[in-house]
Structure 1
Amino acid sequence: MNYQSGDEFLQDMPLILAGPILKHVEPESVTVWVALKLPCQVELKVYDTTNDGTVIGNSLLEGRRSTVALGKSLHVVAVTARLTQRECLSSDRIYAYDLQFTQQTSQTQQTLQQALLSNRFASVNISYFAHQKPTFVLSPLHLEDLRIVHGSCRKPHGHGFDALPILDCLIEETANQPRLRPHQLFLTGDQIYGDDVAEPLLWASTMLGDALLSWEEQLPVVQKQATDVAYYKPKQLPPGYRAEVVTHQAGFTAGLDNKHAKVASHLLSLGEYYASYLLTWSPMCWPAAFPKGREIAGTGKPSRQWNRQVRTMQQFIHTLWKVRRALANIPVYNIFDDHDVSDDWNLNQAWCLRVLGRPLGQRSVQNALLAYAVFQAWGNTPHQFAAGTSGEKLLAAAQDWSASQGMDTAAYDAIARYLGMPPTNPHTGLPEFVKDGSVFILKRHPEALTWHYTVQSHCHEVIVLDTRTWRGYPVDKKTTAPPMLLCPQAFERQVFLPLQQASRMQTTLLIAPTNLFGLQVIDWIHHWQLERDQVFSTDVGDAWNINLGALAQFLTILFEQRHQVVVLSGDIHYSSAVRMSYATTDPNSRTKSVLIQLTASALKNEETITRILHTRLKDWLLPEKVRHWIGWSHPPNMVERKARLFRRQPQPRIKPDWVCALEWVPRQNTHLPDFGANLPWLLTPQEKAKNYKWRWLQRLMFWKSPRFQDGREVVGFNNLALVQFELTANASYKVIQDLYWFSSWYPTQIVYSRFQSELVHNESLWK
């Protein structure tokens, strides 16, 4: 299949290009997202089931909505079904849903099964039952029955096998058991990569985007001379040759410090960002075959690199059917991190001035954020896209922009307004900032959408933070200074008000795309690079504990409202669990609190350094030790005190308001789940032959042995996390994070490592 022959390509495709993806689910409403090749009215029905989900019952919720035309052949909708009777959906029951599609031009109707099939895809399975309808369960009444899955950082050409298909195994194993089946999935950042894109993926994204939109975007560049070009079309910037334009015309920082390979195939156009989502979530839009390296890159190293990346893409595509089925059968919630746009997105004020002050940089960020709004945010918060809202106006502007083939400036300005893009100062050409207390924040229109949100059930609440677009940049420091990840008004709106307004649940979970705490060696590196003003090479400023004042404010607000908090995070390409014990110092009102941070990263982006951290070598050479801080609430600040010198250090002049200590939860020995041994679905024929060829050598490599690989602090291979809670004998809860990954000693085997900790303050850390 060749994307350039658009009509032939579309004829081979089913009506559904990607999805269905189950999104926001409540007892009164259910939202499903889907991408189609034709404009349709989509009807959603939710059914009761009996006999452990095997028999379809009565229709309980219904809804319909028309698709939004993002391109001539790309039509997207997040349709919400609501109650048709008084009885709400309840916990401990399995529900099914179905979709029906009525084409707007011919009025032809198709069922979900018909819309999934085509000549090229004669068989598609998105259900775990014989009735072939997707199913789901609501969160349970009791915390000890809750199952939450989370993960982050899924780069298609990243090293190792994709871990997201493991979710399909988890659901399949427990599909007919509502208390054991996973209840929610949180993807906590980097669902796609705008930077660091494989050349075959950019080739596919450019071709697919142009075919679906049926027009080519004019990407603006700065004309240094009158004879310079003013615009580039995506095809004029081929894979592997974008580094110069991306770094110097768009201003993106991922290519600085001699890292041009990271931006040589950077996404830029709206069609490319749209296409990346389709290619990441569905096997339908991928070409049947890729061109050979010599056809694209000639001979030598570029040709070999292309062929190598094609093999990686083919392995990624091979298991996408399991990803698609899983996403159709569990409520999916997303939040962006930097790579959904580009590396270092809004890292500091210098990045904002550099990128948003250039036409191409501004256009690319807006394209990425519009794609995020339609493909992710719409399903997270469907109420923001209801009739008369900013979301509905954004969708209308997106339609007008595409219908004008990227020429309607009023539609472009409206998109910027509703996305919250900062206006450009007409005199300087730079983005505008406003003051918020002691920091600058990017200016935005009052009608702009918000990306943070809260999900609640009977037993838990999940507060999802936006730590990218509400950053506070210090007024009195250099533009490269680490920001507050949440500015003062963002603390109020995203943390304080949701905690204050929500009723007290059995537990509170926060989604923080960037870590509160990481490995100490990483902190040392960040502080060292900050002193040298080399902040873009390792994202200095993205970790909460680089700006201790902002972290102190976060902890103060958090523990004033809750005494037990679980933070789910990603970003850093390794997984771990840490526990912070916090106590106020006032003898008359001494309170004790605990925070447990569970990190799950990466779904597909393991690196050499994370593989080393994964092993016992890290424990032996550089083990993590208990860390202590003292802190103040007014003004917020905290100071680390070394454990060895804790008693000998001079006492501060002003008595601290609180103290806290951080400990790493040890990783237990690796176990094999019931579904982990036999994986006929995993390998392509080429990978099977390669694996068989080198299997005998695996046993001779001591560093791949289970004993050496059983480190005690992190999981550094591609992984997926399952979080659950257990009621202990003393009536407190224990939080458990099982991290599923592909073993190194037998690569086609899924294993899991367990981290567990009680949700109680640890007094022994001060003894």
Structure 2
Amino acid sequence: MKYQAGDEFLQELPLILAGPILKHTESDSVTVWVALKQSCQIELKVYDTTNDGEVVGNCLLEGEYSTFALGKYLHVAAITARSTDGHRLTGGHIYAYDLQFTVADQTLRMQQALCSNSSPTVSISYFDHQKPTFVLPPNRLQDLQIFHASCRKPHGHGFDALPILDGLIEASANQPQHRPHQLFLTGDQIYGDDVAEPSLWVASTLGDTLLGWEEQLPVNGMCCTPQQLPPGERADVATNQARLTAGLHNKPEKVNSHLFSLGEYYATYLLAWSPVCWPAAFPKGHQVMRDRKAIKKWNREVRHLRQFIYTLWKVRRALANIPMYTIFDDHDVTDDWNLNQAWCLRVLGHPLGRRIVQNALLAYTVFQGWGNTPGQFAKGQSGEKLLVAAQAWSASQGKDAKAEEAIARYIGMPANDPHTGLPILVRDGAVFILDRHPEALTWNYIVSSDCHEVIVLDTRTWRGYPADQKPIAPPMLLCPKAFEQQLLLPLQQVVEETQIQTTFVIAPTNVFGLQVIDWIHHWHLQQEKVFSTDVGDAWNINTEALATFLTTLFEERQQVVILSGDIHYSSVAHLSYAHTHSKLQSVLVQLTASALKNEEVLTRLIHTRLKDWLLPEKVRHWIGCINPPNMVEISEKQLHHNRQMLANSDWHCVLEWIPRNSVQTFRFKADMSSLIAPWKRAENAKWKWLQPLMFWKFRCFQDGREVIGLNNLALVHFELEDTSSSCKVYQDLYWFSPWYPTQVVYSRFESQLTPNQSLLR
């Protein structure tokens, strides 16, 4: 049974398929991203407001842009509005924006473009004037509110936590001093590998319809279309033809429905951020599957997806009303993407593997990267050249070889050696890095305000693979060249007009993980089973890279806050760092938020008190040297009984895990029970009589101390303790309580932004 998403289906949809999504926003420019079904000229205007956002005033910024035709029914634009008279937006004030679309000779207002016959009313505003609104970051650190999160798999277990953001914005929509200022999604915004069969059933047909043509995928020396590789039957092609690693170690279910085509990646983004293109109903399992187990799996995944779709309108509204910044991790492309040198040689040296990575990166560029760094897509820049090439590639129905070469060049795909067919690696000091064209786009970037700076790292495409070790050796997540360009130079930039009060660094993969995870990684590395648990994705597996990372940070900053995700649990870790031969001390606080929707049995267990009872995290110590950079973990006993070891080092550091406070119930103005679909509420009610017997769901058992292992969303804010420069950083993690599933609760982690003197002695 085929999903009916042809021309007639698209014609019934509204003009706007996804968005508007508010992207890079500063005092002198505002960027908004949209995906449309028709080519348009778009006008963006940003307005002043009065009466706490209730009344729209004068136009302050404006801009125009024409969409790029990425397919017959997919026309995308990121429009940037700027001031014509030097006006600058300020913090602590609510601004509104509006879009106007010119299609042929017809002009549509944004509200008209959002609606269709099937959806006559669509809300993306919290005010009667129906315009999205936002606030800029304040000039005081204690007023700053940043949300961050990662890992959102539509069919993942548990409720999607991202719609909670909508309730939080709605509760403070008319309070500029309390509204959140920025949202950072730190990786795995989509899953290219672990895809539900019903999701691929939609994405495959929808993707072809959006493009208006079927991509010819290089499979086994022949060409296959996406429709010839149906859901649930892609494991062999993914593992043996594309050479992807997600399905290794007897895990074919992870790639049974892997995304392959460009249209599928495009469609998956539309389905992740907007309810518009989802079908009104799914077929029953027996209508599309034959095997009994497959039928049961299909029906289970449909139930998860229906709940996900039910709250998508809230996600859409939230993303229209807060600046969203993103960076990829591996699943935005495929599991283990660029994990080590062995993966690069294995996948990028095969035509299908290379095509999949290229398709995924092009889709990321259009749907995420463009809005992160709109300056790279200005006229004549590499981004615009990429969009022109993507447009030509689609217009030729995937036959324009020059357009394909240009796409590969601008997204940074390495050239393949004509003799071996393998990707070209070049030396950067003691490591190999993937070769790339000088005009390739950069994915790392900086966001700054009057009170903070955020340095977003690309730890996927600038890895350094050790030249003197096996190809499976853990890499440097940033090669020497990347350390300089992404970290050192941004840290050394002098900000003359503002006083930066704190520095955030976004590291998509964790800098420090739980001790038990380290043990597992080191054991798997010894067994050379590096793909089963992503060995090498954590910074502390390659001690040379971690030592370089810490010394680079602390040469320029004494206080650093790391935002991270990836690992499907949330936590806070505090690192105190001291130079051995001086009194200089520094602090790093790692705030991890994961997953938005991908809780697992293991994360549910470590969420409870079992983790604290059986495997509590202990204080860990390292000593390190600067030249050459390296660090060694030592015990507390060694530290106190062998002071000469410490004297011979350049620095030492101490890591401690911050316990979470007792669970608190948040009082939303909005009805948060609306986040649960009616059929899910009915299902919960049916089993309510069993609740007293489910001791593992009791609040006292769920109130663990070290991590949040259920789907969650993180809010970061600060508190100045006194008139001095010392302050506390808080991470509030919002999640659905197991003991009362329609209730949203939060757990607070609090950490000093000063070194722990008692541990450094």
Amino acid in structure 2 at the alignment position of 1:125: S
Find out whether 1:325 has 2:325 as its counterpart: no
Question: Which residue of structure 2 aligns with residue 96 of structure 1?
Answer: 96
- 1:247 equivalenced with 2:249 (yes/no): no
Equivalent residue number for residue 283 of structure 1: 275
AA aligned opposite 1:46: V
Distance 1:187 1:353 in 2: 29
| SS of aligned partner of 1:197 | coil
The reply to whether residue 501 of structure 1 matches residue 493 of structure 2 is yes
Aligned mates of 2:644, 2:633 — CA distance in 1: 13
Say whether residues 1:657 and 2:655 are aligned partners.
no
Query: 1:676, CA displacement in angstroms?
Result: 8.4
The aligned counterpart of 2:180 is: 182
Name the SS for the 1:406 alignment partner: coil
Counterparts in 2 of 1:34-113, with a 5 A limit?
34-103=34-103, 106-113=104-111
Note if contact 1:222-1:359 (Cα within 8 Å) is conserved in structure 2: no
Match in the other structure for 1:262 = 254
Taking the aligned partners of 2:456 and 2:210, their CA distance within structure 1 comes to: 32
Q: Distance in 2 between matches of 1:64 and 1:659?
A: 54
Q: Equivalent residue for 2:740? A: 746
Partner of 1:526: 521
Match of 2:707 among 699, 709, 714: 714
Whole-Å separation in 2 of the counterparts to 1:293 and 1:307: 6
In the alignment, structure 1 residue 349 sits paired with structure 2 residue 344: no
Letter in 1 for 2:426: V
The amino acid of 1:631's aligned partner reads G
Which of 304, 316, 338 aligns to 2:308? It is 316
**What is the SS of the residue equivalent to 1:46?**
strand
The TM-score normalised by the length of structure 1 is 0.97
CA contact (8 A) 1:4 1:211 kept: no
Confirm whether residue 12 of structure 1 aligns to residue 12 of structure 2.
yes
Offset at residue 679 of structure 1 (A): 2.8
> 2:693 aligns to what SS in structure 1?
coil
Residue 635 to residue 699, structure 1, CA distance change in 2 (3 Å)? same
> Unpaired runs of 5+ in structure 1?
224-229
- CA distance in 2 between counterparts of 1:656 and 1:707 reads 45
Which residue in 2 is equivalent to 1:31?
Answer: 31
Tell me the secondary structure at the aligned position of residue 749 of structure 2: strand
**1:471 equivalent in structure 2:** 463
Aligned residue type for 1:344: D
Matched, 1:762 2:759: no
1:151 aligns with 2:143: no
Question: Which position in structure 2 is the counterpart of 1:298?
Answer: 290
Shift of the 656–5 alpha-carbon distance from structure 1 to 2, 3 Å rule, reads: closer
Contact 1:48/1:56, CA 8 A, preserved across alignment: yes
Cα distance between partner residues in 2 of 1:621 and 1:702: 18
CA distance in 2, matches of 1:471, 1:296: 42
Letter in 1 for 2:334: S
The SS at the match of 2:665 is coil
Report SS of the residue matched to 1:399.
Answer: helix
The reply on whether 1:684 has 2:677 as its aligned counterpart is yes
Query: Which residue identity does 1:533 align to in structure 2?
Result: E
Q: Write the mapping of 1:69-468 to structure 2, written as runs, cut at 5 A.
A: 69-103=69-103, 106-223=104-221, 230-468=222-460
CA distance in 2, matches of 1:653, 1:505: 33
Q: Is the 8 A contact 1:611 1:717 kept in 2?
A: yes
Structure 2: distance between partners of 1:677 and 1:743: 17
Letter in 2 for 1:597: Q
Aligned partner of 1:485 among 471, 477, 485: 477
Q: 1:745 to 1:678 in 2, by over 3 A?
A: farther
CA contact (8 A) 1:293 1:299 kept: no
Q: How much does 1:85 deviate?
A: 1.9
Structure 1 position 36, deviation (Å): 0.1
Q: 1:545 aligns with which of 540, 548, 555?
A: 540
* 1:593 corresponds to: 586
| Aligned residue type for 1:543 | A
Select which of 551, 572, 579 maps to 1:577: 572
Give the TM-score of the pair, scaled to structure 2.
0.98
Report the secondary structure of 2:672's partner residue: coil
Amino acid in the other structure paired with 2:260: L
State the distance in 1 between where 2:679 and 2:403 align.
48
**Contact persistence 2:138–2:450 (CA under 8 A):** yes
The answer (yes or no) to whether the contact 1:676–1:751 under 8 Å persists in 2 is: no
Alpha-carbon distance between aligned partners in 2 of 1:451 and 1:696, rounded to the nearest angstrom: 51
Contact 1:678 1:749 in 2 (8 A): no
1:653 to partner: Cα distance: 9.8
* Offset, 1:197: 0.3
Structure 2: distance between partners of 1:386 and 1:718: 38
Give the counterpart letter for 1:395 in structure 2.
L
Per-residue deviation at 1:764? 0.9
- Identity level (%): 69
**DSSP-derived class of the 1:598 partner:** strand
Which residue number corresponds to residue 227 of structure 1? none
Aligned to 2:510: 515
In 1, Cα distance between equivalents of 2:669 and 2:365: 36
Amino acid at match of 2:37: K
- The alignment covers a number of residue pairs equal to 757
- Say whether the 8 Å CA contact 1:35–1:77 is kept in structure 2: yes
Distance in 2 (alpha carbons) for counterparts of 1:653 and 1:757? 26
Q: Deviations over 1:110-135 (max 9, x none)?
A: 00000000011111000000000000
467-476 vs 77-86, greater mean Cα deviation:
77-86
- Give secondary structure in 2 for the equivalent of 1:14: coil
Helix, strand or coil: the match of 1:13? coil
- For the 8 Å contact 2:587–2:755, the answer to whether it is kept is yes
1:249 and 1:743 mapped to 2: Cα distance?
43
Q: Does structure 1 retain, via aligned residues, the 8 Å contact 2:54–2:128? A: yes
User: What is the distance in 1 between the residues matched to 2:463 and 2:418?
Assistant: 23
Separation in 2, partners of 1:71, 1:515 = 37
1:280 corresponds to which letter in structure 2? Answer: A
After TM superposition, the structure 1 = structure 2 runs for residues 610-649 of structure 1, keeping only pairs within 5 Å, are: 610-648=603-641
Report the counterpart of residue 226 of structure 1 in structure 2: none
What secondary structure does 1:42 align onto?
Answer: strand
Matched with 1:671 is 664
Q: Separation in 1 of the partners of 2:648 and 2:590?
A: 28
Cα distance in 1 between the residues matched to 2:549 and 2:401: 40
Q: Deviations over 1:351-386 (max 9, x none)?
A: 000000000000000000000000000000000000
Letter in structure 1 aligned against 2:362 = L
User: Within 2, Cα distance between the matches of 1:653 and 1:552?
Assistant: 16
Letter in 2 for 1:17: L
* Letter of the 2:509 counterpart: T
Aligned-residue offset at 1:677: 9.2
How far does the alpha carbon of each residue in 1:722-741 deviate from its partner, in whole angstroms, 9 at most, with x for none?
00010002621110000000
Supply the distance in 1 between the matched residues of 2:632 and 2:114 (Cα, whole angstroms).
57
Aligned residues of 1:27 and 1:88 also touching (Cα < 8 A): yes
Distance in 2, matches of 1:299 and 1:712, equals 43
CA apart distance, 1:87: 2.2
Verify the 8 A CA contact 1:672 1:750 in the aligned structure 2.
yes
Counterpart Cα distance in 2 of 1:110 and 1:420: 38
Letter matched to residue 577 of structure 1 = V
Distance, in Å, in 2 between the alignment partners of 1:672 and 1:603 is 19
In structure 1, the residue matched to 2:695 is 702
Q: Is residue 2:603 matched to residue 1:605?
A: no
**Structure 1 residue 645, shift from structure 2 partner:** 3.6
Is the CA contact 1:157–1:309 (under 8 Å) kept in the aligned structure 2? yes
Aligned-pair distance for 1:84?
2.2
Q: Deviations over 1:409-468 (max 9, x none)?
A: 000000000000000111000000000000000000000000000000000000000000
Q: Separation in 2 of the partners of 1:580 and 1:653?
A: 17
Unaligned 5+ runs, structure 2? none
Secondary structure, aligned partner of 1:699: helix
